[in-house]
Chain A
Amino acid sequence: MGKGVSGGGNMNCGEFQESLAYIIDTGGNAKQKEHLKECSVCSDLVSDLRYIADQAKLLVPMLEPSSRVWDGIKTSLEQEGVVKNRTARGRLLGILPASRWGPGTRGSGIWMLPIAALVLVAVGLLAYRSTLSSRQTASAELSSSNSALNFTNVDSDAMSDNQDQQLLAAIAARAPEMRQSYEQDLRNVNAYISDERKSVDTDPDDEDARQALNEAYREKAMLYEIAVQHSQP
């Protein structure tokens, strides 16, 4: 067992630990290595410090800033007049609340939000499709129809209905006993989206309504994601 105060060689723990800051990543010289081999206190210390460093590397960014950050960015850029707006085509969707870039666009982004759910679904479906090997499944039918999404001149409600029918057809093919509950859930989620859209239309400044609308779309996207997983053979 290592001795705490006087370790191996001519180095003691105090001397070793004074130099530790500079050698922990390189290992140190022969004397320092010798002390580390023979002193359990210092080797435990080094082990702990390396463990802390390793665990720190695994810290992934888990937290999201609140929506006020994005609101602040938009406002600043609008005030600076540096924003150049595109048409509604190709908007990034579903991840951020409806934004109002520039003058004359008040509320114009909101009707694109239905595509948000579908894009979320499409991303999920594409990710799922990449894990499929050679299976031909009902979810691939969904994927192929979703990959035909384009963001120009879409009748979002009609497309949404169409996608819902395809989803139900896929579920009926793979898990017929689940079709009814999916149909009910879709109906409920669509009603949720519809009601909150009306709230947002009535008062576009109602932050709670916008968040609730986003929540509704997230529920629909979750439903699609889980349905796709369920359509595995």
Chain B
Amino acid sequence: MTQAKKTLVPGLSEAEAIDRAKRGDAESFEALYALHKRRVYSLCLRMTGNTAEAEDLTQEAFLQLYRKIATFRGESAFSTWLHRLAVNVVLMHLRKKGLPEVSLEESLEPQEDGPKKDIGARDNVLAGSIDRVNLERAIESLPPGYRIIFVLHDVEGYEHNEIAEIMGCSIGNSKSQLHKARMKLRDLLKLSRTEKVART
């Protein structure tokens, strides 16, 4: 079962749908929604960890898309542009909620609740032992600040300089938070693996 990514229905390409949506064509906008809803929703869900919030934010992202699509000039891929829009919608929402997204000051002291350093005896490596469901769950249970950076960088592919710009922090902060997120995930995934073994 293959998927035609850029052809929405026979005779209507994504570029044509964008063009028509800019002129206010409802059906074309509907086509764009159908094409991109999963990615936008997944991004919102991964960043917030909450289904209802993610749905609200998806709705908001597409409403903003409809209002702003006339400004899309094709300098980047449409999906990239939409994606950035969705990220901004989520971050604005999180800022309004007053969540501590990222510590803007890099702490020189080890954080008590941060992941511990790994010194000592070897443990079994993770390679080959984690599956998507467990990884998604582990991401969901990350603290919000770690989760956002991890989702932006490792899942969605943003570079540190882009994240720094989006989050209003330094590149060093972005790298540091990402590292902590990965360390925390490592702990969670190892724990999940140990629990699974204990259950069987």
Contact = CB atoms under 8 A, between A and B. Distances in A.
B153 to A, nearest CB: 8
Contact of B2 (A53, A68, A131): A131
B9 A123 contact: yes
A41 B63 contact: no
B90 interface: no
Interface residues of A, number: 64
Nearest to A45: B118
B71 interface: no
The interface size bin for chain B is 35 or more
Contacts of A127: 1-4
A149 B172 CA distance: 56
A41 B120 contact: yes
A84 B12 CA distance: 18
Interface string B103-140: 00000000000000111111101110010100110010
B38 interface: yes
Interface string B10-51: 101000000000011111101101100111011101000000
A177 B123 CA distance: 58
A130 interface: yes
B169 interface: no
B89 to A, nearest CB: 13
B2 A130 contact: yes
Given A17-B119, A47-B127, A124-B1, A56 B155 contact: yes
Given A48-B126, A55-B132, 6 more contacts: A21-B176, A21-B179, A91-B30, A93-B9, A119-B10, A123-B4
Interface of B: 1-4, 8-10, 12, 23-28, 30-31, 33-34, 37-39, 41-43, 45, 54-55, 58-59, 62-63, 66-67, 117-123, 125-127, 130, 132, 135-136, 139, 150, 154-155, 157, 172, 175-176, 178-180, 182-183, 185-186, 189
27 contacts: A4-B120, A14-B117, A21-B180, A22-B176, A44-B122, A48-B186, A49-B179, A49-B182, A52-B185, A61-B41, A63-B42, A64-B38, A73-B33, A73-B62, A82-B24, A84-B26, A86-B25, A86-B27, A90-B27, A92-B31, A95-B34, A96-B30, A96-B33, A99-B30, A102-B26, A124-B1, A127-B1
